[in-house]
Amino acid sequence: MGAGPEEAAVTKRYHPAILVSCEIPWDDDERLIEDVFRQEIRAALEQFDDLYIFGTAGEGYAVTVPVFREIVAIFREETDREGVHPMVGCIGLSTAQVVERVGIACDAGFRVFQISLPPWGALNDAELVTYFTDVCGSFPDARFVHYNLLRPKRLLHAADYRRLQDAVGNLVGTKSTGLGIGETLELARDTELMHFYGEANFPLGCRHGECGLLASYGAIFPAQTKELFELGRQGRFGELARLHAEYLAVADVFWEPAKAFGDLIDGAWDKMIVRASGIDMPLRLLSPYQSFPLEVYEACVAGLRARHPEWLE
């Protein structure tokens, strides 16, 4: 059994955790189904303490300001309890739009935010620093996690984060699932930020530094997700490797019927996971994005039940 990360520890600015997204249920008229949303949040809180709304899977790119305000208020009501660490995603085309949404969520009582870069044009190095100092500097008592993905046309690397962490004291973490092996290792070793990796690269990241787990499958596989996280935290890397291989293989079985349907946006996949957990989550996404047909979802669940029923217990 290992004793923990193989590299010397770097003090991180945020706590390690399992980070779970809450998706938004819409009716046929693209209105929030409030009771289903509250049910989803409450079910997630039975298993996890770190929840967030409005990433890509949570359709944070698509909601209007009034809908954003409505959902933030409900999320605050449900997560305003001791030991819970809620986070609100704020996506916009400009600094001003992101600051506006952070301000709304701040007024509701939130202090931890997930922000992405503005996607209309790739930021150069000077613009990158300006964006983070302007957004994060507008809320000095808040903390920010950067949602690091290629949709804004620039993926950040360890050198970028070393520069940003020196300039922005309340930038505390990243959500980084799309980096290669070398980049994952460099992030884990060489920055003060808490990096939330996906299931695929979490085992690699936790070998080289303290990190968090972005749990795509937390709703459907809560026990296995928590075990995966704890094995990494405890440095039990042999056991982690075995569970990780099984975890990805089971997930692959679940998605098998969906693969031929096409490459849909994140929320289409994540809403199937939430629905499979027992929440009456509609598969619908806000216009113009396409969701999976109900028969594809049913085939996914049937395949998982037939081949790995123990994972649904």
- Give the pLDDT score at 9: 61
In the predicted model, what is the mean pLDDT of residues 220-247?
97
> Predicted confidence band at 74 (pLDDT cuts at 50, 70, 90)?
very high
In the predicted model, what is the mean pLDDT of residues 226-243?
97
| Predicted confidence (pLDDT) at residue 6 exceeds the cutoff of 60 | no
- Give the pLDDT score at 187: 83
CB-facing half-sphere around the CA of 97: CA atoms within 13 A: 19
Closest CA to 118 of 91, 145, 146, 149: 91
Contact between 254 and 221 under an 8 Å Cβ cutoff? The reply is no
Contact between 173 and 224 under an 8 Å Cβ cutoff? The reply is no
Mean pLDDT, the chain, integer? 94
> Predicted confidence band at 183 (pLDDT cuts at 50, 70, 90)?
confident
| Predicted confidence (pLDDT) at residue 167 exceeds the cutoff of 80 | yes
Percent of the chain with pLDDT over 70: 97
By three-state DSSP, how is residue 214 classified? strand
| Predicted confidence (pLDDT) at residue 7 exceeds the cutoff of 70 | no
- Give the pLDDT score at 1: 39
Closest CA to 14 of 208, 126, 165, 226: 165
Cα angle: 192, vertex 197, 200; to 5 degrees: 145
In the predicted model, what is the mean pLDDT of residues 262-272?
94
| Predicted confidence (pLDDT) at residue 5 exceeds the cutoff of 70 | no
| Predicted confidence (pLDDT) at residue 262 exceeds the cutoff of 90 | no
Q: What share of the chain is helix, strand, coil (3-state, %, to 5)?
A: 45, 10, 40
pTM of the model: 0.94
- Give the pLDDT score at 100: 98
What are the pLDDT digits (tens) for 10-66?
789 999 999 999 999 999 999 999 999 999 999 999 999 999 999 999 999 999 999
Could you give the CA distance from residue 213 to residue 200 in angstroms, rounded to a whole number?
A: 10
By three-state DSSP, how is residue 144 classified? strand
